[in-house]
Amino acid sequence: KSFAIMFCVALFLTNFIIINAVIPSGSMEDTIMTHDRLIGARFSYWFSEPERGDIVIFHYPVDEKKIYIKRIIGLPGETVRIENSGIYIDDSTEPLQEGYLKEEWDVLNDGFEFHVPEGCYLMLGDNRNWSEDARYWADNAVEEGLADNHQEAEKYAFVEKKKILGKAIFTYFSKFRILVHGEWYAGM
């Protein structure tokens, strides 16, 4: 009887309260390393909206069976421009300050403009030179036959709020790190 109760509690926790994930790639390095294990909170956005800088776990728009983890860069209704390795929100002349990037951003770092639809978010990885993120997803949708051209496929560059599973809270392997205001802090 106690085993059945523990099983039901564990099932409830993993389906409604927490997300236990293993990171398969280096797309979020050095923030989250390949093979790190982390816990996310499914309830993070029940009563609040996702914020720029949050690291979230979500269904990949091109294939919703796949689960991705990336950082929120663009919020609903914003225009996000990528120019010369900088991110510019709406009409800003100053790029976002992104101290979490792994290295100098050289790959697909110019010539993008995203108009984030209402109810959606724009996601990028912290390891921009190696991250398959919103910059690639429209092209991936065309390759997968989900759209006939890039214009039809633009919607696949964004993640709807209802497709966000939760917010990454902390890693517990290989190191214990807690996420606070978009940055990882070690030693807790």
Residues that are catalytic: 27, 70
Q: How far apart are CA 82 and CA 89, in angstroms?
A: 9
Instruction: Check if the beta carbon of residue 137 is closer than 8 Å to that of residue 61.
Output: yes
| Of the candidates 163, 135, 136, 170, the residue with the CA atom closest to the CA atom of residue 32 | 170
Would you state the structure tokens that stand for residue 133, as one six-digit string? 């993120």
| φ and ψ at residue 172, rounded to 5 degrees | -120, -5
Q: In whole angstroms, how far apart are CA 136 and each of 24, 41, 96, 161, 182?
A: 18, 27, 21, 20, 23
Q: In whole angstroms, how far apart are CA 185 and each of 9, 84, 109, 169?
A: 30, 29, 27, 11
Q: How far apart are CA 153 and CA 143, in angstroms?
A: 10
